[in-house]
């Protein structure tokens, strides 16, 4: 793909790998960083590529709200009719923004999307439901000849914790921590959107882009 020329005043971070900030070019599909070999998508926004036009706000466009925690405070992001707003919420009630950056859709220079493993889910899944499920399975095998009633209860418990482990592993490895870095002319934000399936496609649509497949 042709390297778009960087208009004056555009932050250099706009054309970089979201993992390591190594320079990179936009591409319609997922790409692998030349520096760190990790995967991401990088799409040019309306402020970088003249052929991308953010559509006028649709009167019925609903806002999409996200909230996620970072150590002690919460971050939020909101897709509004005219643009994306994101910032930090107060640490006491986690409701009032204490700082925020707004990027109107026509000012979006680039969008990078990448996915990390959600280690907390994977570790909790391996440490809690897996051993309980295995223990109950073992108890089922022992109980079958002597106490079939108890065996039936153990097998139900084993099944429940097996499903819980499956759910946590799926959330950790398949869904993961999905992140989008949106660079505007006058600021950049990073949004964690794992919990909102609609965020990704709506962000791209409102910027006048087709959403690339998730990396």
Nearer of residues 40 and 161 to Zn ion, judged by Cβ: 40
Rounded to a whole number of angstroms, the minimum distance from the CB of residue 20 to Zn ion is 3
Cβ–Cβ under 8 Å, residues 117 and 55: no
Alpha-carbon Rg of the chain, whole angstroms?
Answer: 22
Is 21 within 8 Å of 40 (Cβ atoms)? no
Residue number with CB closer to Zn ion (36 or 163): 36
Q: How far is the CB of 154 from Zn ion (least distance, A)?
A: 48
What torsion, rounded to 10 degrees, do the Cα atoms 58, 63, 64, 69 define? 150
Please state whether beta strands 83-89 and 177-184 pair in parallel, antiparallel, or not at all (unpaired). Answer: unpaired
Minimum distance from CB of 85 to Zn ion (Å)? Answer: 27
User: What is the binding site for Zn ion (CB under 5 A)?
Assistant: 17, 19-20, 22, 33, 35-36
CB 181, min distance to Zn ion, A: 12
Find all residues with CB under 8 Å of 23, minimum gap 6, and list them: 12, 15, 16, 17
The CB density around residue 47, as the number of other CB atoms within 10 Å, is 24
In the bound state with Zn ion, the residue whose beta carbon lies nearer, of 17 and 165, is: 17
- Which helix (DSSP H) or strand (DSSP E) does residue 204 occupy? helix 197-206
Nearer to Zn ion, 20 or 163 (CB): 20
Smallest gap, in angstroms, from Cβ of residue 111 to Zn ion?
A: 16
Pairing between strand 177-184 and 187-192? antiparallel
CB closer to Zn ion out of 35 and 162 = 35
């Amino acid at each position: 793909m042709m390297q778009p020329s960087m208009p004056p005043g555009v932050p250099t971070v706009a054309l970089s790998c979201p993992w390591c900030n190594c320079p990179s070019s936009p591409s319609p599909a997922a790409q692998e960083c030349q520096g760190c070999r990790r995967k991401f998508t990088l799409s040019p926004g309306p402020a970088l590529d003249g052929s991308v036009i953010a559509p006028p706000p649709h009167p019925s466009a609903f806002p999409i709200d996200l909230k996620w925690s970072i150590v002690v405070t919460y971050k939020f992001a909101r897709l509004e009719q005219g643009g994306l707003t994101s910032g930090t919420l107060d640490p006491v009630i986690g409701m009032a923004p204490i700082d925020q950056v707004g990027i109107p859709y026509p000012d979006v220079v680039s969008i990078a999307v990448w996915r990390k493993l959600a280690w907390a889910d994977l570790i909790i899944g391996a440490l809690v439901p897996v051993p309980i499920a295995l223990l109950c399975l073992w108890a089922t095998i022992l109980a079958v000849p002597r106490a079939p009633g108890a065996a039936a209860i153990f097998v139900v418990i084993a099944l429940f914790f097996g499903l819980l482990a499956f759910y946590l592993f799926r959330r950790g490895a398949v869904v993961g921590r999905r992140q989008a870095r949106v660079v505007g002319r006058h600021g950049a934000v990073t949004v964690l959107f794992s919990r909102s399936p609609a965020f990704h496609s709506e962000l791209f649509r409102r910027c006048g882009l087709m959403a690339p497949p998730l990396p």
